[in-house]
């Protein structure tokens, strides 16, 4: 590549690069693009931040790489990490890393089909942090605690559910820790609904 061609590439704004990279679905191509230079890495990161859907199905990805990409996808709503044939293999540890991503509270759909390395412990990691999930209702919380009998704690700060709901959750699972600490040793801060 000549100096003139290289200079033309350097003139592209990061926003334009991000738009171009947004159209690329191959994680391998995005990884290669992010290795070109710092500006391209910024463009790749911005393109991932705009994605509302990520599918790792059919890709051979390790769980650390998968978690890193999910952490960059701030707008993510749909996540598919199913194992179709030779796809990525996520374990409970990988789900824990994914559960720390800021986008987890926005997820409307997640597919874990064929993930034999996941147990209840891993699945619960995705559901325990309900912080500021104002659209999760009393029915959703009760269903979660009924289905996940080994659930040890949930973070419900900022949720809009009646106090009776938390008392009901403790009736289902007396050892459940409802975080963060607040009015009752097991009940956290929440918005009262009357």
Task: Flag the least confident range among 35-44, 50-59, 71-80, 133-142.
Answer: 133-142
For residue 189, name the pLDDT band (cuts at 50, 70, 90): very low
- Phi-psi region for residue 30, left (φ > 0), alpha (ψ -120 to 50) or beta? alpha
Q: What is the pLDDT of residues 133-169, one digit of tens each?
A: 667 778 888 888 887 777 777 777 777 778 888 888 8
Q: Is 194 helix (H, G, I), strand (E, B) or coil?
A: coil
Show Cβ contacts of residue 96 under 8 Å, excluding neighbours closer than 6 positions.
122, 125
Higher pLDDT, 161 or 17: 17
Q: What is the pLDDT of residues 73-126, one digit of tens each?
A: 988 888 888 765 554 577 888 888 888 888 887 777 777 777 777 777 777 677
Residue 52 has pLDDT above 60, yes or no: yes
CA–CA gap between residue 45 and residue 77 (Å, rounded): 17
Among 169, 166, 168, smallest CA distance to 183 is for 166
Pairing of the two strands 153-155 and 109-111: unpaired
For residue 180, name the pLDDT band (cuts at 50, 70, 90): low
Tokens 């693009």 — which residue?
Answer: 33
**pLDDT at 7 (0 to 100):** 61
């Amino acid at each position: 590549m000549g100096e003139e061609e290289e200079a033309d590439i350097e003139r592209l704004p990061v926003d334009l690069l991000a738009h171009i990279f947004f159209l690329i679905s191959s994680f391998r191509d995005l990884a290669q693009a992010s290795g070109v230079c710092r500006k391209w890495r910024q463009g790749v990161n911005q393109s991932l931040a705009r994605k509302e859907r990520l599918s790792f199905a059919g890709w051979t990805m390790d769980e650390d790489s998968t978690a890193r990409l999910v952490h960059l996808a701030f707008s993510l709503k749909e996540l598919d990490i199913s194992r179709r044939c030779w796809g990525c293999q996520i374990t409970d540890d990988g789900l824990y890393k994914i559960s720390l991503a800021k986008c987890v509270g926005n997820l409307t759909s997640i597919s874990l089909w064929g993930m034999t390395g996941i147990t209840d412990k891993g699945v619960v990691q995705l559901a325990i942090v309900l912080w500021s999930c104002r659209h999760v209702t009393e029915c959703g919380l009760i269903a979660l605690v009924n289905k996940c009998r080994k659930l040890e704690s949930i973070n419900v700060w900022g949720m809009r559910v009646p106090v009776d709901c938390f008392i009901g959750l403790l009736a289902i699972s007396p050892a459940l820790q409802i975080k963060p600490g607040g009015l009752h040793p097991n009940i956290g801060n929440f918005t009262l609904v009357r």
